[in-house]
Amino acid sequence: MSTFVALTASGLAAGAIAALAAVGFLLTYKATGVVNFAQGDLITLGAYIAIWVTQKEGMFGLGALDLVPGYIVTVLIMFAIGMVLERLAYAPLRGRSIHVIVITTLGAALVLRAFIGLWQGTTPKFLDSPLRGEVVGIAGANISQQRVLIVVVTIVVVSATIALFAFTQFGRQLRATANDRDTAKLCGVPVNWLSMLAFGLSAALAGVAGILLAPLGSVDLTLGFNFMLLGFAAAVLGGFGSIGGVVVGGVAIGLVEHLFGGYVGRDFKAMYPFILMLLIIALRPQGLFTRGSVQRL
């Protein structure tokens, strides 16, 4: 029983990070039609920025920030980086073929990774957490509090994002833009600004994911890549539709990986989320939670 509880907790935490990545994917996709494969490297960048602002010298030698203020500053910096990324990397490509855009996002990912390598080096680093080394006992299993924090923060952040989408003019404008960009313009919706904000929010979510993920181990340049893949799988499961759908997709991915991988064919654990994704693509290409048809490219 305790193993089941421990693996469920692991699955939920991994699913939560995948869900944050997936919501990031969804935000940019909704606003601009771009599936941003740089999302994983934005997660990595978020972790490194958090290390940068909380390290002894602090950013630009201004001194270290305490952890929580440092995290907040990191998310703000990531928001700004997302906006700049939209202007520099994606806005010039608007209207171009989807293949060009996909390659560009992969290119942006490599550029980001190389930039981090030049800036922070390739030696693994560590981001501290206020909950480091703390565990909570649930049904005989010791669950690290960082993993509990990951799930709690994800619930809060995703709920806030859902509320933002559903109940604010920004959310309505974003959904309108996703639905029909030209008509949104005719309604006066500032679609370019909205695209920047969507990229900003998406990068901020990547920052949150990086901050939550980093204290579990050490941070290197590959930190976010795997979660980008898991997030993409979660978004596919959710049919790139509603936030709720991709979040459920993320949790399903995490649970399949850790529960299935914890009991059956352990050596193939990392494959299970993608087997699930391929099954969904084959059997229900529009995703688990989206109605309607799909467009084949």
Partner 1 sequence: MRLKRSVCALLAVGVAAGATAVGAGTAGAGGGGAPTVKIILLAETTGESPAAVPYYANGAQLAADELGSRVEYSRIAAPLTPAAAETALNQALDEDPDAIIGFPASSQTIAISQRIVDSGIPFFSLSSGEQLVKNGPNGGDNIFLIRPVDTNVATKEAEYVVDDLDAKRIGMLCVDNATGVNGCNAAREVFDAARGVEIVAERTNSTTATDLTEQARAMDGADAIIDFNFPNPIGVFAQQLIDNGIDVPHVDGASAGIAVASGAVTGDAAVNLRGVDDCVPTVSKSRKVRNWVSDYEGVSGGEPPIYSAAQAYDMVKLIAAAARQAESVAPRRLIRTIAGMTYNGICARYQSDDLNVLQHTADLTRWNAEGEIRVAKRFRFAPNELAGVVPETTIPPTTVAPAPPPS
Partner 2 sequence: MLELRGVEVSYGAVEAVRGIDLDVLEGEVVALIGPNGAGKTSTLRAISGLTGFRGSIRFDGIDCRRLSVQGAARRGLIHVPEGRRVFTTLTVHENLLVGTTARRGRADAYSLDEVYELFSGLAPLRRRLGGALSGGEQQMVAIGRALVAGPRLLLLDEPSLGLAPKVARSLFAALRKIAVRTPLLLVEQNTVMALKVCSRASVIVNGRIVLEGSAAELADRQTLVASYLGEEPAVAAVTSDGSG
Buried b (16+ CB within 10 A) or exposed e, 285-296: ebbbbbeeeeee
Does residue 134 belong to the site contacting partner 2 (CB under 8 A)?
no
Q: Does 14 bind partner 1 (CB under 8 A)?
A: yes
Contacts of 234 (CB under 8 A, 6+ apart): 15, 18, 19, 21, 22, 246, 247, 249, 250, 252, 253
- According to CB under 8 A, which one of 92, 124, 244, 265 is a site residue for partner 1? 124
190-195 long-range contacts, CB within 8 A, separation 24+: 192/91, 194/31, 194/170, 195/31, 195/32, 195/86, 195/90, 195/91
Query: Residue 189 interacts with partner 2 (CB under 8 A)?
Result: yes
Q: Residue 89 and residue 297: Cα distance in Å, rounded?
A: 23
Is 173 a binding residue for partner 2 by CB under 8 A? The answer is yes
Pick from 61, 123, 188, 267: which binds partner 2 (CB under 8 A)? 188
Tell which positions 243-262 bind partner 1, by CB under 8 A. Answer: 258, 261-262
Pick the stretch among 112-120, 141-149, 186-194, 272-280 that binds partner 2 (CB under 8 A).
186-194
Rule CB under 8 A: say whether 27 interacts with partner 2: no
- Is 197 a binding residue for partner 2 by CB under 8 A? The answer is no
Question: Contacting partner 1 (CB under 8 A), which of 16, 158, 209, 216?
Answer: 216
The CB-of-191 to partner 2 minimum distance in angstroms stands at: 7
Residue 190 binding partner per list partner 1, partner 2, none, with a CB distance cut-off of 5 to 8 Å that depends on partner kind: partner 2
Among candidate residues 120, 106, 113, the one with its CA nearest the CA of residue 48 = 120
Q: Which among partner 1, partner 2, none contacts residue 124 (Cβ within 5 to 8 A by kind)?
A: partner 1
Please enumerate in sequence order all residues whose Cβ is within 8 A of that of 45, keeping only pairs 6 or more positions apart, or say none: 78, 81, 112, 116, 206, 207, 210, 224
The answer to whether the CB of 252 falls within 8 A of the CB of 237 is yes
Q: Give phi and psi for 286, each to the nearest 5.
A: -80, 0
Enter the DSSP assignment of 61. G
Q: Which is nearer to partner 2, 15 or 245 (CB)?
A: 245
Stretch that binds partner 2, among 50-58, 180-188, 212-220, 278-286 (CB under 8 A): 180-188
Q: Which helix (H) or strand (E) holds 135?
A: strand 135-138
- 244 near partner 2, rule: CB under 8 A: no
User: Among partner 1, partner 2, none, what does residue 100 contact (CB within 5–8 Å per kind)?
Assistant: none
The residue ranges that bind partner 1 (CB under 8 A) are 3, 6-7, 9-10, 13-14, 110, 113-114, 116-118, 121-126, 128, 133, 135, 142, 144, 147, 213, 216-223, 225-226, 258, 261-262, 266-267, 269-270
